[in-house]
Amino acid sequence: MSWRGARSAGRGAARAGVDGVLDVLHPVLVLCRGVRCLTVRGRAWWDRTPRERRGPALFVAAACGALVWVLPFGPVLAALGLLAAAGWYGREGATRPAARTGPSVEECARLRALYEALVPYFAPAEDPHHEPLYVPGGAWERVFEEFAFRDGRISDLLLSYPAAFLDGEPEERLRVERVLAAKTGRGREYRFSWDMEGNRLEMAALAPLPCGVLARPFVTAPGETVLGFTDGYEVRRTVPVHFLGAAAPLDVPPVVWRTGHRATEPHLLAVGTPGAGTSSLLRSLALQALHRGEVLFVDGDGGGEFSCFAARHGVLGVESTLPGALSALEWAARETERRLLVTSRARQRGEPVPEEVRQPLWIVLDRPAALSHLADAEERIDPQQLLRVPLRHGRAAGVTVVVAEQFEDLDMLTDTVLAHARARVVLGSVSPGQAGAVLGEAPQTGPGAHVARGRGFARLGQGPVLRLQVPATPDPLDETVGEPERLAVGQLLPASVHEPSTGEGAAATAFRVAPPREGQAT
């Protein structure tokens, strides 16, 4: 018994001695763990760095070391910083790697299928390399550098491709983008970023654009009009907007279209499928234009989409018949010429341009193909021919032309409209090829089969193709639309000409939700 007691006492003394030594050497152990962690991280960074960039990285590191050496107390401060970093990374729990689980069996199968689908596009016919990146049955781990899944589908992907791939050809890039969009999940929109210098392609599945944006006076400068809202990839500016059911406004990136004397794209063409929201876009633009100018409406199909604007301050007319449309467009052409003449005379005399000439004039023309068909049947002048003067000289005269048409009648638009309306909007569920025929550049992917009203793309001149969601601007006289949306539009309408214009209050009280009446459009 005495022998066992002595043995237990010896074990306890040894354990206490080890604990004491560990307590004394704890700072040293922490620093050793931190140095080991920093070494592992540095080695991993070195392995990820391409070979062509390792030399410049070493040069920068050597230059920084020499600069620290010549600075007063530089080596001492560098040593203290290294000790602090080692202590931070060596603390308890810092060196424990995050629990990382590799892709599941189903995810590996998806990545394998995607790799095999890309082999015919990235595998050249005669590859001189002994181990090409893309071969049937090859290892997808070599080319898929980063990937992420969301809801069981690939949401983010970074892949490398051979340098022999013709990434400078738009057709070749479009083929690969279509394969990636089809294999990673249809019904979503994607963003592709080609790094032609590093032979890498990054794909990201985009979140849907926010719907339910109510019509409100947006915060813009004079000459700026909000077409809709997009994501934050191409647009860094934001404006506060009100969402249906939200208590407070949220900041959303807008698609801003600039008009006026200094605008590069003073006229707009909107093309969409039936029910896609082109008339809603025109109403949204008209409500914004009426804050600072006058608007003339020409409703080509006579559906009464703009009857809520009839007999209101700032609205010059709402024409829905062929004789009325011809008379209105003839007046618009003469008004453009008059504005040009008055502006020229004022500048020749060195006087400021009169206010009534500087006030913007908007011509909103919906479905001109229907009017052109009627004019051809009655052997009268095509209404689109009367747009030549406003389109060609509208920027100098302060006249903006907005034309909306459907895809099936796109071939009936005249060359003058297509040449001068360089701000383009496409709405509805269309293919990238259809959208590219209007925008001049095909979007990387098209919207799904079922998209919200007012969803599409926009391109201003030679700028990038932007995703677009038009604000909810329904006809306030349409009883099939929700009451909040109708009231939001009605509060923005100017006061009726039968009531005195007393400012914003009159605009808010002049609207009454009521069914449309016969002959209300003028």
Ligand-binding site membership of 276 (annotated):
yes
Whole-number pLDDT of residue 236: 83
CB 466 within 8 A of CB 488: no
The pLDDT > 90 percentage for the chain reads: 44
Is residue 374 pLDDT above 90, yes or no?
yes
Whole-number pLDDT of residue 16: 64
Whole-number pLDDT of residue 336: 96
How far apart CA 327 and CA 322 sit, in angstroms, is 9
Ligand-binding site membership of 496 (annotated):
no
User: Which residues contact residue 16 at a Cβ distance below 8 angstroms, ignoring those fewer than 6 apart?
Assistant: none
Is residue 504 pLDDT above 60, yes or no?
no
pLDDT per residue as tens digits for the range 78-129 = 888 888 887 777 766 554 444 445 688 888 999 999 999 999 999 876 656 6
Q: What is the mean pLDDT of residues 374-380?
A: 93
Whole-number pLDDT of residue 93: 52
* DSSP collapsed to 3 states, 48-68: HCCHHHHHHHHHHHHHHHHHH
Of the candidate CATH numbers 1.20.1440.230, 3.30.420.40, 3.30.230.10, 3.40.50.300, the domain formed by 224-510 belongs to: 3.40.50.300
Ligand-binding site membership of 454 (annotated):
no
Read off the pLDDT band of 234 (50, 70, 90): confident
pLDDT per residue as tens digits for the range 308-334 = 999 999 999 999 999 999 999 999 999
- Nearest alpha-carbon partner for 409 in 380, 438, 388, 389: 438
pLDDT per residue as tens digits for the range 1-57 = 444 555 555 566 666 665 666 666 677 777 788 888 888 778 777 766 766 677 888
The burial class, CB within 10 Å (0-12 / 13-18 / 19+), for 101 is exposed
User: Which residues contact residue 522 at a Cβ distance below 8 angstroms, ignoring those fewer than 6 apart?
Assistant: 310, 311, 317, 318, 319, 324
Ligand-binding site membership of 277 (annotated):
yes
- Please tell me which residue, 190 or 29, carries the higher pLDDT value: 190
Whole-number pLDDT of residue 25: 66
Q: What is the DSSP letter of 321?
A: S
Whole-number pLDDT of residue 130: 62
pLDDT per residue as tens digits for the range 126-150 = 656 667 888 888 889 889 999 999 8
Whole-number pLDDT of residue 283: 95
Ligand-binding site membership of 275 (annotated):
yes
Ligand-binding site membership of 293 (annotated):
no
Ligand-binding site membership of 344 (annotated):
no
- Please tell me which residue, 229 or 42, carries the higher pLDDT value: 229
Average pLDDT, the chain: 84
Ligand-binding site membership of 272 (annotated):
yes
Is residue 258 pLDDT above 90, yes or no?
yes
Q: What is the mean pLDDT of residues 170-186?
A: 87
pLDDT per residue as tens digits for the range 440-498 = 988 876 666 667 889 999 999 999 999 999 999 999 988 888 888 889 899 999 998 88
Residues carrying CATH 3.40.50.300, the chain: 224-510
DSSP string, 449-479: SS--TTEEEEEETTS--EEEE--B---TT-T
CB 439 within 8 A of CB 465: yes
